[in-house]
Amino acid sequence: MSSFNRRLFLLSGAALAGCGFTPAYGPGGAATRLQNAVLVDEPDSRPGYLLTRRFEERLGRANPGRYALSYSIVITENAIAISSNNVITRYNMLGKVTFALRDIDTDKVLTSGKADSFTSYSASGTTVATQAAKRDAEARLMTILTDMIITRLTAEAGTLPT
């Protein structure tokens, strides 16, 4: 690393410290309010289980929680590739999660929103391979959607009551 690059790196760190920048998950960061504090609604489906599992992987399991996360998941599929024999060979899996973060003590909704994304899977193999690809696509989709929710909650963590 050249001396110019080193100086630029050190000065940029000083500039961020001077403007009040704090890492979200660093000591005193706003997102630490969410760690081990959000109780996710009990899942009633595989996508719900995948959402809950990813959420707890990232933010920890709340016991007891300060906040409660309610959600509703809608997943649809669209055929996007059809062979000359009129056989579907690829699907898009579209997912949408509507969520609300509530204060457990007051049951007041603190923030709410929607996350949507998509993923695809191939249906050109055997029935077993297609089912495996579909389950994998569902898992990938729920990871994407959960990460989007966590990013949104992290961005708004500074406004949450302590």
Q: What is the percent of the chain where pLDDT is above 70?
A: 81
Q: CB of 117 within 8 A of CB of 148? A: yes
Q: Choose among 139, 95, 145, 53: nearest CA to 131.
A: 139
Q: Provide the pLDDT for residue 160.
A: 84
Look at the pTM and tell me if it is higher than 0.75. yes
Please provide residue 127's backbone torsions phi and psi, each rounded to the nearest 5 degrees: -60, -40
CA 56, 57, 63, 67 torsion: positive or negative? negative
Please write the tens of the pLDDT for every residue from 84-134. Answer: 898 899 999 999 999 999 999 999 999 999 999 999 999 988 999 999 999
- The C-alpha angle with vertex 125 and arms to 119 and 128, in degrees rounded to 5, equals 85
Q: Is the pLDDT of residue 24 over 90?
A: no
Q: Provide the pLDDT for residue 130.
A: 94
Return the structure tokens found at 92: 């898009």
Return the structure tokens found at 84: 């000359």
Q: Choose among 141, 159, 154: nearest CA to 34.
A: 154
Please state, in angstroms and rounded to a whole number, the distance separating the CA atoms of residues 91 and 134: 9
Return the structure tokens found at 57: 């992987």
Residue with tokens 């050109």: 124
